[in-house]
Amino acid sequence: TSTDTQPQAQHKAGDHTETIQLEFDPTKTDYKTLLNMFWDFHDPTACHKRQYMSAIFYHDKEQKAIAEESLKRQQSKIKKPIATKIMPAGTFYDAEDYHQKYLLRRHTALCESLKKAGLKNFKESHVAARLNGYCSGSGTLAAFEAEREKLGLSDTQAVLVRQCFK
């Protein structure tokens, strides 16, 4: 579900939280499924300063109730207290460009190849999102190979992505 995203804002260190905003099609998935993925893919007990804190944002009372129930269910599975905050969604601000797909951008040769092939907007690109995941260590080489053709990568780009798995 969408919330307005505003252009980059000037901010003071410590007055924001780096996060992602997911827009989803409720005919294909639901909030509860996304929350299950959220719990599976990070350590909710890690306590960080505001900039990197773990948070779940909700848009309405129903999402708030689902989020709170998922937190209770997750807490029943682990001993350490969960540090994740459940908060109302407000205005999201774009991070500076150099923060967009940060882990992918560390692979300079791959990024340059993608740009030369016409990929300009890393923030909005599905391909950049998928490659950022692979470059971060998420996913497997087999999963990459299975979707490589759909991503439209050249042989050279595929070689560069495979280097992320070494």
Task: Quote the number of domains for the chain.
Answer: 2
Range of the domain at 141: 97-165
Query: How much is the pLDDT for 6?
Result: 53
Contact (Cβ atoms closer than 8 angstroms) between residue 34 and residue 1: no
Nearest to 151 by CA among 124, 134, 131: 131
**Domain match, 89 and 148 both:** no
pLDDT at position 1: 38
Q: Are residues 71 and 25 in the same domain?
A: yes
pLDDT of 2 reads: 41
pLDDT the model gives residue 15: 73
- pTM of the prediction? 0.70
Local mean pLDDT, 10-residue blocks, the chain (166 residues): 51 70 92 95 86 92 98 96 94 81 92 92 89 92 96 96 92
Report the alpha-carbon distance of residue 68 to residue 73 in Å, rounded: 9
